[in-house]
Copies of this chain bind each other. A is one copy, B any other.
Amino acid sequence: MPWGPEQKQQSRERILNSAAKLFTQHGFDHVGINEVMADAGMTRGAFYAHFSSKAELYAESIATAAKAAHLKAIEALGSDASLQRVVKGYLSEEHRSGAQINCPLALLITDIGQRDDKVREAYTRVFKGFVNLIAQGGDADADEAHRQALQKAVLMVGGMAISRAINDEELAATLLDVCRNGVLDGQEA
């Protein structure tokens, strides 16, 4: 079979996409290899031809989810690359409901702290990339710009995570609004 390797690559990507979606929706502990493979159109046994363990899949799927979320953000921007539009998209009800691949930072925050270092490193890398993305178009002073970007990242990621945790829909909407304003006010100052 001449195109065996490409076939395998396709399967691997389907697994990663399913894992990125399910992990960012429900968290690592509530998604089994079973579900991931079923979502990818295969069964359990085939999994270990692509990954050696669930933890390895987790670490790689964080990067996959980040890439998908990043692409989505860029696509939503179009030609107008204002921070305002990124923030509106990120801190939105659509993102909160989370039917697609979601931002791995928000959902996985506390999950990550308990994992092994490979997983935490993947998460840390994504977080740093997120902060750098936010920092663009910021202050002239590099250090101060970095600090402001850090604060904005916390407002966005923390706000999204908390809005999902609470069961008061009105408060959740207010929370997202406050965080949007907080991030954007800081930029205009």
Copies in the complex: 2
C-alpha spacing A113/B29, complex, angstroms:
13
Q: CA–CA, A167 to B112, complex, Å?
A: 10
Alpha-carbon gap, A151 to B67, bound state (A): 28
Main secondary structure of the interface of A (DSSP, over half): helix
A43 within 8 A of B: no
Tell me whether A33 is interfacial, beta carbon within 8 Å. no
Q: Which of B117, B120, B151, B161 contacts A179 (CB 8 A)?
A: B151
Which stretch (A3-11, A51-59, A134-142, A168-176) binds chain B? A168-176
Please determine whether A114 and B27 come into contact, CB atoms closer than 8 angstroms. Answer: yes
Stretch at the interface among A12-20, A75-83, A102-110: A102-110
User: Please, how many angstroms separate the alpha-carbon atoms of A107 and B158 in the complex?
Assistant: 12
